[in-house]
A and B are shown apart, each in its own frame.
Chain A
């Protein structure tokens, strides 16, 4: 029966209003034209500053360069070199580990803060502002603050640790501790942004849904789990993609705080590409590292896009 109705619906002709169609067509064309006009500046800038360099980087990745003049075409030699380069694999592993740690923590802490500051809390505006402030500071400035905090000789953190009688931590000379310090500073920088997006998502959820859930006997955890989390699906999808991309692209905090050290314990793909491209001027190889990074990001985004059910969920 259902199938028959559906079949009828499908063959039913659309209402014919020939006289008004012409006007509608003109209006549609005008709207499309206006849309394209609005898009054009962005498309031009995107093309000029993103797509052209992107294609250029792919071209350079097939070249041997010394920083000046035209490179020499070497086919996939730079990519072959990547396979046997232990520093590249170390940087890739560090980047993946950094992403795996930072992404869920940023989102989890951001969600927690958003839920907290969305509730009736005294001076919540102040707390929100405090969390968002790091967003307004550049990554380099944030990292410089990180250096002051994590200086293992006389930094604020080790001074506090020693004050309470604990042994100081080798934040700069120990590989694991240095990695943790980079993660902590990144979280401080990024949680505010995650909170902001989740807060916007939370404010779009109507209170009647919570009332209905409460009437159905749902406790606070059940309401959070079955109402809040699913309806924040689009926010979570957006933040997941953005956090992963940001994590893959992490540069300034690592570059300033640790320079990739000690012993490459915090070296990530972008710092390695930067050093290769701008310090040793091996730009072909640096471009190959960049292209690998791009491919990893593409693959992740495509997989997440296809597997995400919550990205378009709305109330």
Chain B
């Protein structure tokens, strides 16, 4: 056969096109093929090196425990994760299992995109999880996923910066956590002791992290959705207290002016560069901070308002509604939340368990294990009535409403009353509440 340049180009194109497309993460998933009788699951996630390594170990153990089962791990950058998942769901070729933040979970569960796990889970399955964690994966009182891990915000502090302001001790137990007033006093002391361009703290509410503002709302014993998860409940005394307390961070110069909701500079960067003495942060930041920072730092609890409280961060694992292998998918979700598997994941990735037993007995982070009790203690302040609100199907829209209105309130453009009313109206629009 005469092999011409034209043949070569056509052949090269045919070979490279699928490779290029798969490199973009847009190539259709391999069929899970119950039609072919195979027991293969596709699992799409993003993750740090530690998280992906732990997932790989879990998969290997699952495949060993289930003869013939195979789980194909597809790791993608976080930035592309959900545009890809949405496109795949719309095109009818989603993965069998994917990882999803609790605040995005409702968008899928509420729109019939996820598998109702009720028929596939043994009775009493939910008993392994904390109430707050189990509440975060419910849609219409049915479980549409498993709570894989959680995280919540505590306070990391620069020891030298606090000591130079005369603050030599920080709370070491939940019971002795600073009250809001005490935190304000600490911040005022730091404000007075530090140069004008160094600030007492930075808050981690940038971007979708706006849900971390809810920590303050919960500490004020408030809610943003009523118990029917439809009516807005933020226009309340608790809402006003949380908003005024957080706005005071700006009016009293406790945080840098660019520590706004839509800022491109994350709170952690502000703290890393020693522009702030303290930062609100999840446990996930511990490995990076340990590797990066050349100053001595510690952690303490988030403050108490009417009660202790925190945002319910972290991620669930879910199976898609049309998976060809629902039993196998449910078995994997069961396996991956086993005690050994969850301990391995949380300890290596510096994240918090959602299992009751691990939350009670405690875990040791691979990096800075002495900080694990602080974050575990903080996570124990999260109540089921707090986390269940985050599972709202309209959470994505609520996040946008919170971002726009809090940004405006922090800049002093809108009064507390107007902001709360605007947030309540914005929440009622998608939820249909009143």
Contact = CB atoms under 8 A, between A and B. Distances in A.
Interface of A: 66-69, 87, 147, 151-154, 168, 170-173, 256-264, 275, 278-282
Nearest to B261: A261
B199 to A, nearest CB: 8
B262 A154 contact: no
B263 interface: yes
A154 B275 contact: yes
Nearest to A258: B264
Given A170-B257, A173-B260, A262-B411, A67 B107 contact: yes
Interface string B265-279: 100001001010000
A94 to B, nearest CB: 14
Contact of A280 (B260, B262, B400, B411): B400
B230 to A, nearest CB: 16
Contacts of A279: 396, 399-400
A68 B85 CA distance: 11
A262 B396 contact: no
Interface string B60-85: 00000000000000000000001100
A93 B297 CA distance: 46
Query: Which 8 pairs show the lowest CB-CB distances between chains A and B?
Result: A261-B262, A173-B257, A172-B258, A259-B262, A153-B275, A173-B258, A280-B397, A147-B264
B113 interface: yes
B273 A67 contact: no
Contacts of A275: 400
Contacts, number: 83
B303 interface: no
B399 A260 contact: no
A260 B262 contact: yes
A262 B83 contact: no
Contact of B89 (A68, A168, A170, A171): A68
Interface in B70-128: 82-83, 86, 89-90, 107, 111-113
Nearest to A140: B79
A111 B324 CA distance: 61
A259 B261 CA distance: 10
Given A152-B257, A154-B273, A263-B413, A67 B86 contact: yes
A315 to B, nearest CB: 39
B404 interface: yes
A261 B263 contact: yes
A257 B82 CA distance: 21
Given A68-B89, A259-B207, A264 B264 contact: no
B282 to A, nearest CB: 20
Nearest to A66: B111
Contacts of B262: 258-262
B288 interface: no
A260 B207 CA distance: 11
Given A152-B257, A152-B258, A170-B258, A264 B404 contact: yes
Interface SS of chain A: helix, strand, loop or mixed? loop
Interface residues of B, number: 32
Contacts of B408: 263
Contacts of A278: 82-83, 86
A263 B410 CA distance: 10
A259 B257 CA distance: 16
Interface string B373-415: 0000000000000000000000011011000100110010100
Contacts of A264: 404
Contacts of B197: 153, 168
Contacts of A262: 260, 262-263, 407, 411
A68 B86 contact: yes
Contacts of B90: 67-69
A153 B263 contact: no
A69 B407 CA distance: 33
A200 to B, nearest CB: 30
A281 B82 CA distance: 11
Contacts of A171: 258
Nearest to A153: B275
B264 A172 contact: yes
B411 A263 contact: yes
Contacts of A257: 264
A281 B258 contact: no
B256 interface: yes
Contacts of B82: 278
A281 B270 CA distance: 31
Contacts of A260: 262
A66 B394 CA distance: 10
Given A67-B107, A153-B270, A172 B411 contact: no
Nearest to A172: B258
Given A67-B107, A275-B400, A281-B396, A261 B86 contact: no
A152 B197 CA distance: 10
A260 B408 CA distance: 13
Contact of B264 (A69, A154, A259, A282): A259
Nearest to A67: B86
Contacts of B407: 261-263
Contacts of B411: 173, 262-263
Nearest to A266: B262
A261 B275 contact: no
Contacts of A67: 86, 90, 107, 111
B127 to A, nearest CB: 32
A31 B338 CA distance: 70
B273 A153 contact: yes
A67 B112 CA distance: 11
Contacts of B413: 263
B397 to A, nearest CB: 5
A172 B82 CA distance: 28
A68 B113 CA distance: 8
Contacts of A261: 260-263, 407
A236 B376 CA distance: 63
Nearest to B110: A66
**Residue with the greatest number of chain A CB neighbours at <10 A, chosen from B89, B258, B411, B413:** B258
Contact of A256 (B264, B273, B399): B264
A282 to B, nearest CB: 8
Contacts of A168: 197
A138 to B, nearest CB: 13
Nearest to A275: B400
A78 B370 CA distance: 54
A259 B258 contact: no
Nearest to B259: A173
A285 to B, nearest CB: 11
A147 B206 CA distance: 15
Given A69-B111, A154-B273, A172-B265, 10 more contacts: A67-B86, A69-B90, A152-B258, A172-B260, A173-B258, A261-B261, A262-B260, A262-B411, A263-B413, A280-B400
B295 to A, nearest CB: 15
